[in-house]
Every structure is written in C-alpha cells, then in structure tokens.
Amino acid sequence: MSDISTVWNPAQGYGDFSIAGTQLQSGNDLQTAIFISLFSDRMANPDDVIPDGAGDPRGWWGDLGQDFPIGSRLWLLDRSKLTQSVANQARDYIQEALQWLIDDEVVASFDITTQIINSITLGAQIVAHKQDGTTVAIKFSWAWKNMNQPAPAPAAPQLDTNFILDVSILP
C-alpha cells in the first residue's frame, strides 16, 4: 500500500495532498518522505540559536523523548545571511533530516550538494540511491530575499514570504 502523495506548490510555498478524481492520490512514497523530512520543523537542539529570539524550539510534541525526531532544522537558518557557511549548514541539516531513510534501509545512501546560486538563492540537490541501484534526484532552490532582516510581526497568520522554495523532480 502506498502513502498519500505530498506535492509541492511552489507558487504558494507549501506541500499538500493531491486529489486524483475523488480520491487522495497515492504513490511517490520516497518523494513524500523527503518532503516531510525536510519541510517539517524538527525541534531545535538545546544549544541551537532560535532565529527570532522568541525561544520557541518548534518541532512536534510527539517527538519528545524519541531517538529519531521528524523534520529538519532548516528553519533555524531563516534569518541568516546567505554565506558558504550557511550553505554548508543547510547541507548538514538536510543530511540529518534524511538519515532515518538510510537507517530504515529505504535508501542505500544520499548525495547532497548545496550551493549559492546567486546573492539571494540557495540551491540544494538530493540524489537518493535506492536499494535496487536506481536513483531519484530532487532539486530545490530557496529565494533568500531579506532573510537577514528582522521580519515585522504579522497581524494575522500568513505565509513567510521571505522563504520561497521551488522544487523540481529530475529525471
């Protein structure tokens, strides 16, 4: 049985379920697992600096006391200036978030590269090497617009327009 597919909506900057006819679309299990692993907020470690200074470590309450929490700490880079150090930290956070897929033998390994594409865009490519020898490549790019400036407090909940993500699945 396949999982419900999560697809990325780059125009809105979020992942969502997809409908096929009257049913939730299923399949693309590895892609869905990668999306959930990267774009769910993992709880910050006790020594992490929270970007907005509020002290909220985020994460999912179900991860308390668990050895393998869900999500990534990419959100901790939210207000960082885009530097090579930040690109390297993003790569480390991606590896940390996806490690469970290796541990559970869903994939044999990942090749993860990050690069600064221009002054406001961080790129990441993830190549998953499956157990059967096939590969799946996913390419991400984040628009780093005003990421190093404090954001004004929103009057109502809204999308963080400073953190824009474009996702493409490579053949």
Domain ranges for the chain, please list them.
6-170
pLDDT at 144: 59
Supply the DSSP string of 82-148, one letter for each residue. Answer: --HHHHHHHHHHHHHHHHHHHHTTSEEEEEEEEEEEETTEEEEEEEEEETTS-EEEEEEEEE-TTTT
Q: Which of 16, 15, 67 is nearest to 42 (CA)?
A: 67
Supply the Cα-derived Rg of the chain in whole angstroms: 16
| Cut 0.85: pTM above it | no
Q: Which of 35, 95, 99, 31 is nearest to 67 (CA)?
A: 99
Using DSSP's 3-state secondary structure scheme, residue 161 falls into coil
pLDDT at 46: 92
pLDDT at 14: 72
Report the alpha-carbon distance of residue 119 to residue 143 in Å, rounded.
9
Give me the average pLDDT of each 10-residue run along the chain (171 residues).
72 75 83 88 94 90 85 91 93 96 96 89 91 89 52 36 44 50
Using DSSP's 3-state secondary structure scheme, residue 31 falls into helix
pLDDT at 98: 96
CA geometry: angle 155, 63, 128, nearest 5 deg: 95
CA distances from 132 to 11, 26, 95, 107 (A): 34, 21, 21, 9
Report the alpha-carbon distance of residue 67 to residue 9 in Å, rounded.
31
